[in-house]
Structure 1
Amino acid sequence: MEIIFTGKRALVTGATKGIGRDIAIQLAKCGAQVVAVGRNQTDLATLKHEVPSIQIIPLDLSDWNATSTALTNLGPIDLLVNNAGLGWLKPMSEITEEDVDSVLGINTKALINVTRIVVQNLLSRNAPGSIVNLSSQASLAGLMHHTVYCASKGAVDAFTRAAALELGPYNIRVNCVNPTVILTDMGKLGWSDPKVAEPMIQKIPLRRFGEVREVVDAVLYLLSDRSSMVTGTCLPVDGGFLAC
């Protein structure tokens, strides 16, 4: 199934590493004009060197006003991938206010802000659009020591459904993808210990973690006209984890 985005302009947040970086690259390969947003200027420059057609914007998405300033006059955006996110393992009793503010600030608040900006642009142009939010299996199943992260991703799923309902009449689709553990460089590092990885793998019917390309393929499908009747959906890419 060939997917082509020629003539479309796409914004990808969290595009410096891992899944976001690969999404930006694959969108460009499919013909989209890509705008890549990230905090690390060095990583953005590396991405630009690899794919010169990609426009890069260094930006701290936790700053609501700076984000609005940087993106409001960016020009037409047809496709949006809200990939930027953060999280860590921490017992409930050790959670601080800063933990809550930082995780929800990026995973939820910044996602809503970027979506708001892109939607305003789409509505002003009376243009169709497709938005994909990167959520997690943690939005749909409790994970040990992931309380704040689970909460932030649960909010992403709820926002996705509500936004799809509101924007559907304008032919703007909103979906999200909910991956299991994905073997990005960070994923490989965090799950390299068999004692840590094996209990999780045993909960996944396919008995393995996901590859980056498997998430990217799902995102591209949901962005594309191949999924033109799909909106408000949370698509697990989890090897069956949530079926158990």
Structure 2
Amino acid sequence: MPLMPLPDLRLDGKRALITGGSRGIGAAAADVYAQAGAEVLLCARNGAEAEAKAAEIRAAGFLAQGFALDVTDLTAVRREVAARGPFDILLNNAGTNRILPIQDIEEKDYDAVLGLNLKAALFVAQAVARGLLAAGKPGSIINVSSQQGHTGGPGRSLYSGSKFALEGLTKCMAIDLAPHNIRVNTLCPTFIDTELTRPVLAVPGARERVLGKIKFGRLGQMEELTGPLLLLASDASSLMTGSALLVDGGWTAG
């Protein structure tokens, strides 16, 4: 009998849209998806930064484009996705955080965090899904969530609230889109050692609290997300939908 074949992690011939693509998880995913054979389209509010990242990828011999897009501008989202799509893969990565105790939260804080982390994520995913449906194509939508979508934390009411909601949204989208062979999952990282997390960890006591929760006793490294990112984008995860892929170093284990 032949041996079981290895999973197919290649993305040849596929097109991937990455929001928040100029830095952090978005930039790492762009590198990986391009090397796996996809054409990557990176967008960010700062179009020059998105194009600079795309230029790095092109210089390495792979396919990439960068463009400006504020994903909270829903008219622009619908226009750009329709004009540039359809996309086989969406990494719904744009997000923000405001660390505030519940008693200090103002309406403007709620609007900023929930408007980007939940509302914009919903309508970006909807635009990509509509493009796939119109083209009759399968696809993979990856909503970047967090371990904080599965647990609480001090000052995290807005962020955790948005990510808990994103988890619920993902499950419902997965149910709606499964008949069309469009998969929808979340990626839920712990604290990753990046320029974006370092100021948060510089707050007195923050690093000690974080490392006390991560069972390995260390921060995650960006390269430790690239395997899960590729798994969810590729056909290797063809039976996964409505799932949360926790890459949290055991934080939520207890």
Q: What's the TM-score once normalised by structure 2's chain length?
A: 0.92
- Is residue 101 of structure 2 the alignment partner of residue 91 of structure 1? yes
3-state SS, counterpart of residue 12 of structure 2: coil
3-state SS, counterpart of residue 67 of structure 2: strand
**Identical pairs, percent:** 38
Question: Hey, what's the Cα distance between the residues in 1 that align with 2:105 and 2:64?
Answer: 38
The 10-residue stretch of structure 1 (23-32 or 67-76) with the greater mean CA deviation from structure 2:
67-76
User: What's the CA shift string for 1:91-120, capped at 9, x where partnerless?
Assistant: 112111111111111101111111111111
TM-fit CA distance, 1:42: 3.0
Q: Look up the match of 1:104.
A: 114
Contact 1:19 1:184 in 2 (8 A): no
TM-fit CA distance, 1:125: 1.4
- Is residue 24 of structure 2 the alignment partner of residue 24 of structure 1? no
3-state SS, counterpart of residue 174 of structure 1: strand
Q: Look up the match of 1:172.
A: 182
What does 1:37-48 correspond to in 2, within 5 Å? 37-48=43-54
Which structure 2 residue ranges, 5 or more long, are not aligned? 1-6
Q: Look up the match of 1:58.
A: 68
The 10-residue stretch of structure 1 (231-240 or 62-71) with the greater mean CA deviation from structure 2:
62-71
Question: Hey, what's the Cα distance between the residues in 1 that align with 2:103 and 2:144?
Answer: 28
3-state SS, counterpart of residue 221 of structure 1: helix
- Is residue 135 of structure 2 the alignment partner of residue 125 of structure 1? yes
TM-fit CA distance, 1:160: 0.6
Q: What's the TM-score once normalised by structure 1's chain length?
A: 0.95
Question: Hey, what's the Cα distance between the residues in 1 that align with 2:110 and 2:17?
Answer: 26
Contact 2:51 2:67 in 1 (8 A): no
TM-fit CA distance, 1:2: 6.4
User: What's the CA shift string for 1:66-95, capped at 9, x where partnerless?
Assistant: 211222221321011001000021111211
User: What's the CA shift string for 1:173-197, capped at 9, x where partnerless?
Assistant: 1000111111121123322467321
3-state SS, counterpart of residue 16 of structure 1: coil
The 10-residue stretch of structure 1 (216-225 or 37-46) with the greater mean CA deviation from structure 2:
37-46
- Is residue 238 of structure 2 the alignment partner of residue 228 of structure 1? yes
Contact 2:183 2:240 in 1 (8 A): yes
Contact 1:37 1:58 in 2 (8 A): yes
Which structure 1 residue ranges, 5 or more long, are not aligned? none
TM-fit CA distance, 1:3: 2.0
Tell me which of 126, 148, 162 is aligned to 2:172: 162
Question: Hey, what's the Cα distance between the residues in 2 that align with 1:115 and 1:74?
Answer: 14
User: What's the CA shift string for 1:32-83, capped at 9, x where partnerless?
Assistant: 0111110112311321221223111201111111211222221321011001
Q: Look up the match of 1:4.
A: 10
Question: Hey, what's the Cα distance between the residues in 2 that align with 1:207 and 1:179?
Answer: 15
Q: Look up the match of 1:189.
A: 199
Question: Hey, what's the Cα distance between the residues in 2 that align with 1:204 and 1:56?
Answer: 35
- Is residue 45 of structure 2 the alignment partner of residue 35 of structure 1? no
Contact 1:14 1:83 in 2 (8 A): yes
Structure 2 letter corresponding to 1:47: K
